[in-house]
C-alpha cells in the first residue's frame, strides 16, 4: 500500500487526480473509501470489470479500502444465487473486500427514518396519483412540470400515510413518496423524483418484513453516507443523478466532509450486449446455454472460455478512465488475453482438421521420442516434454494444397516442408477416395534434418503435426462472436437486437488430434496449440476422461483485414524543412463515420491517404477511417510517423490513448504536436519506457506539453531492468502478499500475474515485465513447469 501522506497513484487519470488532491489536503482525514455496489439481479459482465478494477484499484493505491455492497432494494428481481455468483467472480478477478461486505437491505430502517426527516421538513410528500399521471405532470425538456393534486398535503397527513404504507395497508401502486424539489428544474430528475414505492413481494434477505422499497436515486447516496464512503465512483449515465445525490444528503443532514459522486466512462464492448435485460433474454430464449456460456460477456462466461483474470484487469487498464463514453473493439480484449497467455501458456501440438501422412521410408513400428520445448525463445521460461514421432502423422488439412498459390510455403505434391521439432518431409504421392477427396499423403522423410539440421534446406515453411498412434482425441470448440455487427442495438425502428445474432457463433465441434503430454497436465492448464490459438479444457464438459477444449482466443484477429506482413512500410519522407500543417478548428476532430466519409469526399488527398494507410501501412480499416476523418488528425499522424515508422503502433496510440486524454478539447488545443507522440511511441518500441509508464507521460504531455524523454526522466519512469533492483521490489511484494504466496504454492499459479502487476504498480509501470516475472519465479522456487 502507498503511504497516504505521500500518495503516488499508478496513473494520472482525472479520478486519481481528484483522490490524490483530497488526500494531500487532508479531506476525510486522509481516508479513501470506495465501493462496488452491484444489484444482485444477474451475473457480472465485462462492463462491470472496469468499475471493479477502478474502485478496488483506487482504494488500494491510496491505502484505503473498497466495500462490496449489494444494492438489493428490488425484491422482484434479486436472489441469493446472484449474490454468491458475484462474490465468486470478484474473488476470481483477484479482489478481496475483507470484512466490508454490506447489503442495502440492511439499511431499510435507517433509510425510512431519513425519509421521515424529509417529510417533517416539508421536503417529501405522499403522492396518490397514478404512474401515468405523475409522468405526464413532470413536463418535458421544453415545458416545466406541474403539481399533482397531492403535492401540498399537510406534513402530518404525509407522515400518517407513509407509516401506513410501511404497515402494508395499501396495495401496490396506491401511493408513492416523492421529493418536493423543483417542478421547473432543467434537470428533469429534480422534478419531484419518486423515493419510495409499494411492492408486496418477498425479499430474499428481509422476507416479508417490508412492502415499502426505496428507489436507486434515494437509496444509494444514503448507503454511501452510512458506510463512510469518500468517493462514490459511477459511470457517466449517472451524471445527471449527481444533483439529487447531493440534495438528499444535504437535506437529510449529512455535513461535510460527506461522500461525493464522480462519473467516468463505462466499458462498452463491440459485438455483444451488456444490458442485463438483454442478457437475460439470451439465456431465457435459449440463444446461449446459460450465464456461463463461453460466448457470453459475463465474467462467468469469460472464465469458462478460459480467459485469465489478469487479462480482464489489463483490459480495464488499456481502456483507461475518461469523461466521455466510447465503444471498445473486442480486439483490445483479445490483445490483453494474448499478452497474458504468451507468458503463461505452454506450447503443444494439436491438429484441428486432420489429414493423414504416411512416411514411406520410415521403418514400420519405429517410434522416436523427440524433446520439444514448452516455450519459445522470447519467453524466459524453461521446460520440455517428450513428443513421440512415428511413420504415420496427422497434419492440418489446410497445410497441404494440390494447387498451391504463389508464395505457398507449406506442403504440396513434389514439395517439401519442415515438421515442427522434427524432420523435413517431401510429398511424393496424393491418395484420394472415389469422390476425389484427399484422404492421405505419402511422403519421404530426410533423417538428416532432425531438429533443424540440413543446412541446404533453407526457405522451407514449418508446420505442426501429431503422431497417429499416439494422438489423443479431443473435442475442440471454436467459439466465435455472438453478434455479427459491432453495435447489436443498432436496429431499425420496431426491430430487435436478436436479428444480429451470429448463427455461426457455435460451429459444430471438431474432433482434434492432440499430443499425449496433455493427459498428465493439470486440467486448468491453458495452452497455445501452436499456430492455432490459445485453448484450455472446458471446466464443465471436459471433466474426467473426456477431453473438451475451448478456444480462448485466436493467435491473430481474423475479423480485421490484415495487410501483408507484420510491420508497416515507412511513410514517404516529408520534404526537407516541411512543417506540420496548420490545424483548422472546424475540422479538428474526426467525428461520426458519416462526417469522416464526407471529409474524404471533399478532400481527395485524405481519401488517398486512407487507401495508403490500409494497403501500404497495414492499418485496420477502422483506424484508417478515424485517422483520415480530418486533415488535422491525418497531419498529426503523418508527423508522428516521420519520427517513428511503426504505423500500427502510432495509430493505436492516436486512436485509443490520445483520444482518451483530450477530455473534450480539440486536437489543436494540445500543448504538443505529432512529432512528440512519435518520439514517445518510439521510446516504447525501443524498450526505453514501458507502455504503462508511457501512458502516464502522455497524460502529463496533454496538460503541460514537454519532451517525452525529459518527462520520463523527471517522473522517474525509465525502464527498470536491473535484476538486483527488481529483486528488492519482488521481495517487498511477496512479503506484503504472503497469504497469496501461500495460495500460489498450494497450486494457484495464476497468482503470478498478480505479483507481476504489483511490481509494475510499485515501479510506476517502469519494470521490465519479462525480467520481473523471471525474478519472481526465482523467488517462488519455480523452475520450468
State the residue for C-alpha cell 439481479.
41
Q: Which residues contact 297 (CB under 8 A, 6 or more apart)?
A: 45, 46, 47, 269, 272, 273, 274, 279, 482
Give the max Cα distance, the chain. 102
Q: Are 691 and 728 in contact (CB under 8 A)?
A: no
**pLDDT for the residue numbered 440:** 97
Percentage of residues in the chain having pLDDT higher than 90: 62
In this prediction, residue 457 has a pLDDT band, given cuts at 50, 70 and 90, of low
Of the listed ranges 187-201, 350-364, 753-767, the least confidently predicted one is: 753-767
State the residue for C-alpha cell 475518461.
322
What one-character-per-residue DSSP string does 710-776 give?
Answer: HHHHHHT-S-B--HHHHHHHHHHHHHHTHHHHHHHHTT-GGGHHHHHHHHHHHTTT-B-HHHHHHHH
Reference 251, options 106, 144, 73, 116; nearest CA is: 116
Q: Write down the catalytic residue from 151, 276, 642, 736.
A: 276
Q: Write down the catalytic residue from 191, 258, 266, 692.
A: 266
DSSP helix, strand, coil percent of the chain (3-state; round to 5): 40, 15, 45
Q: Write down the catalytic residue from 16, 35, 39, 513.
A: 39
In this prediction, residue 459 has a pLDDT band, given cuts at 50, 70 and 90, of low
In this prediction, residue 726 has a pLDDT band, given cuts at 50, 70 and 90, of confident
Mean confidence (pLDDT) of the chain: 88
Tens-digit pLDDT profile for residues 545-560: 889 999 999 987 544 4
Tens-digit pLDDT profile for residues 183-233: 999 999 999 999 999 999 999 999 999 999 999 999 999 999 999 999 999
366 is catalytic: no
**pLDDT for the residue numbered 589:** 46
Tens-digit pLDDT profile for residues 95-108: 999 999 999 999 99
State the residue for C-alpha cell 519522407.
573
Tens-digit pLDDT profile for residues 301-317: 999 999 999 999 999 99
Angle at 141 between CA 135 and CA 142, to 5 degrees: 115
Task: Give me 144's grid cell.
Answer: 416545466
Q: Which pTM does this prediction carry?
A: 0.70
Angle at 568 between CA 684 and CA 404, to 5 degrees: 135
276 is catalytic: yes
**pLDDT for the residue numbered 770:** 72
266 is catalytic: yes
In this prediction, residue 2 has a pLDDT band, given cuts at 50, 70 and 90, of very low
**pLDDT for the residue numbered 721:** 67
Q: How many CB atoms lie within 10 A of CB 544?
A: 7
**pLDDT for the residue numbered 664:** 65
Q: Strand locations in 172-267, DSSP E?
A: 176-179, 194-198, 212-214, 231-235, 260-264
Amino acid at each position: 500500500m502507498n503511504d497516504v501522506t505521500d500518495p503516488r497513484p499508478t496513473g494520472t487519470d482525472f479520478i486519481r487526480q481528484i483522490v490524490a488532491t483530497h488526500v494531500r489536503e487532508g479531506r476525510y482525514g486522509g481516508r479513501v473509501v470506495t465501493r462496488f455496489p452491484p444489484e444482485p439481479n444477474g451475473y457480472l459482465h465485462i462492463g462491470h470489470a472496469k468499475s471493479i478494477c477502478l474502485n478496488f484499484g483506487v482504494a488500494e493505491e491510496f491505502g484505503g479500502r473498497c466495500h462490496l455492497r449489494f444494492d438489493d432494494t428490488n425484491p422482484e428481481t434479486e436472489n441469493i444465487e446472484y449474490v454468491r455468483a458475484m462474490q465468486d467472480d470478484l474473488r476470481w478477478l483477484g479482489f478481496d473486500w475483507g470484512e466490508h461486505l454490506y447489503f442495502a437491505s440492511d439499511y431499510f430502517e435507517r433509510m425510512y427514518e431519513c425519509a421521515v426527516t424529509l417529510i417533517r421538513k416539508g421536503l417529501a410528500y405522499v403522492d396518490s396519483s397514478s404512474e401515468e399521471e405523475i409522468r405526464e405532470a413532470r413536463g418535458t425538456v421544453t415545458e416545466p412540470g406541474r403539481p399533482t393534486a397531492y403535492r401540498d398535503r399537510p406534513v402530518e397527513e404525509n407522515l400518517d400515510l407513509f407509516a401506513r404504507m410501511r404497515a402494508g395497508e395499501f396495495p401496490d401502486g396506491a401511493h408513492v413518496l416523492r421529493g418536493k424539489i423543483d417542478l421547473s428544474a432543467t434537470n428533469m430528475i429534480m422534478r419531484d423524483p419518486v423515493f419510495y414505492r409499494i411492492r408486496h413481494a418477498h425479499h430474499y434477505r428481509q422476507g416479508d418484513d417490508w412492502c415499502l422499497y426505496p428507489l436507486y436515486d434515494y437509496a444509494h447516496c444514503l448507503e454511501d453516507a452510512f458506510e463512510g464512503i469518500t468517493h462514490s465512483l459511477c459511470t457517466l449515465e449517472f451524471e445527471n443523478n449527481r444533483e439529487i445525490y447531493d440534495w438528499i444528503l444535504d437535506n437529510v443532514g449529512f455535513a461535510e466532509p460527506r461522500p461525493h459522486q464522480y462519473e467516468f466512462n463505462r466499458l462498452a464492448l463491440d459485438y455483444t450486449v451488456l444490458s442485463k435485460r438483454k442478457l437475460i433474454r439470451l439465456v431465457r430464449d435459449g440463444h446461449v446455454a446459460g450465464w456461463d456460456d463461453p460466448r457470453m460477456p459475463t465474467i462467468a462466461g469469460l472464465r469458462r472460455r478460459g480467459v485469465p483474470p489478469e487479462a480482464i484487469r489489463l483490459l480495464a487498464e488499456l481502456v483507461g478512465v475518461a469523461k466521455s463514453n466510447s465503444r471498445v473493439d473486442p480486439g483490445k480484449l483479445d490483445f490483453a488475453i494474448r499478452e497474458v497467455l504468451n507468458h503463461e501458456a505452454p506450447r503443444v501440438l494439436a491438429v484441428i482438421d486432420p489429414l493423414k501422412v504416411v512416411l514411406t521410408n520410415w521403418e514400420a513400428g519405429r517410434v522416436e521420442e523427440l524433446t520439444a520445448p514448452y516455450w519459445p525463445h522470447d519467453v524466459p521460461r524453461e521446460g520440455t516434454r517428450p513428443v513421440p514421432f512415428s511413420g504415420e502423422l496427422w497434419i492440418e488439412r489446410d497445410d497441404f494444397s494440390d494447387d498451391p498459390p504463389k508464395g505457398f510455403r507449406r506442403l504440396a505434391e513434389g514439395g517439401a516442408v519442415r515438421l515442427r521439432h522434427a524432420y523435413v518431409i517431401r510429398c511424393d504421392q496424393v491418395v484420394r477416395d472415389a469422390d476425389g477427396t484427399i484422404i492421405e499423403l505419402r511422403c519421404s522423410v530426410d533423417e538428416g534434418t532432425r531438429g533443424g539440421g540440413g543446412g541446404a534446406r533453407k526457405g522451407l515453411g514449418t508446420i505442426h503435426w501429431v503422431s497417429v498412434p499416439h494422438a489423443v482425441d479431443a473435442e475442440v470448440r471454436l467459439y466465435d462472436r455472438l453478434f455479427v455487427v459491432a453495435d447489436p442495438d443498432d436496429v431499425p425502428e420496431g426491430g430487435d437486437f436478436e436479428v444480429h445474432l451470429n448463427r455461426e457463433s457455435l460451429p459444430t465441434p471438431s474432433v482434434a488430434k492432440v499430443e499425449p503430454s496433455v493427459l498428465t497436465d493439470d486440467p486448468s492448464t491453458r495452452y497455445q496449440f501452436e499456430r492455432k490459438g490459445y485453448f484450455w479444457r472446458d471446466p464443465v464438459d471436459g471433466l474426467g476422461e473426456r477431453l473438451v477444449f475451448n478456444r480462448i482466443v485466436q493467435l491473430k484477429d481474423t475479423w480485421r483485414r490484415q495487410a501483408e506482413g507484420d510491420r508497416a512500410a515507412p511513410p514517404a519522407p516529408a520534404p526537407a524543412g516541411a512543417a506540420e500543417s496548420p490545424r483548422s478548428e472546424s475540422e479538428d476532430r474526426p467525428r461520426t463515420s458519416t462526417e469522416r466519409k464526407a471529409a474524404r469526399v471533399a478532400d481527395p488527398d485524405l481519401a488517398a491517404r486512407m487507401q495508403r494507410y490500409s494497403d501500404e501501412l497495414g492499418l485496420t480499416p477502422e483506424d484508417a477511417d478515424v485517422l483520415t476523418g480530418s486533415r488535422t488528425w491525418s497531419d498529426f499522424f503523418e508527423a508522428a510517423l516521420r519520427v517513428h515508422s511503426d504505423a500500427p503502433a502510432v495509430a493505436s496510440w492516436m486512436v485509443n490513448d490520445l483520444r482518451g486524454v483530450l477530455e473534450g478539447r480539440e486536437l489543436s488545443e494540445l500543448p504538443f504536436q505529432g512529432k512528440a507522440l512519435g518520439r514517445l511511441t518510439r521510446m516504447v518500441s525501443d524498450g526505453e519506457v514501458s507502455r504503462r509508464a508511457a501512458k502516464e507521460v502522455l497524460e502529463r504531455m496533454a496538460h503541460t506539453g514537454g519532451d517525452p524523454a525529459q518527462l520520463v526522466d523527471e517522473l522517474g519512469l525509465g525502464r527498470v531492468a536491473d535484476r538486483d533492483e527488481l529483486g528488492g521490489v519482488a521481495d517487498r511484494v511477496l512479503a506484503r502478499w504472503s497469504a497469496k504466496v501461500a495460495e500460489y504454492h498450494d497450486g494457484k499459479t495464476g497468482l503470478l500475474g498478480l505479483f507481476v502487476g504489483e511490481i509494475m504498480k510499485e515501479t510506476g509501470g517502469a519494470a521490465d515485465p519479462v525480467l520481473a516475472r523471471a525474478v519472481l519465479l526465482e523467488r517462488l522456487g519455480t523452475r520450468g513447469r
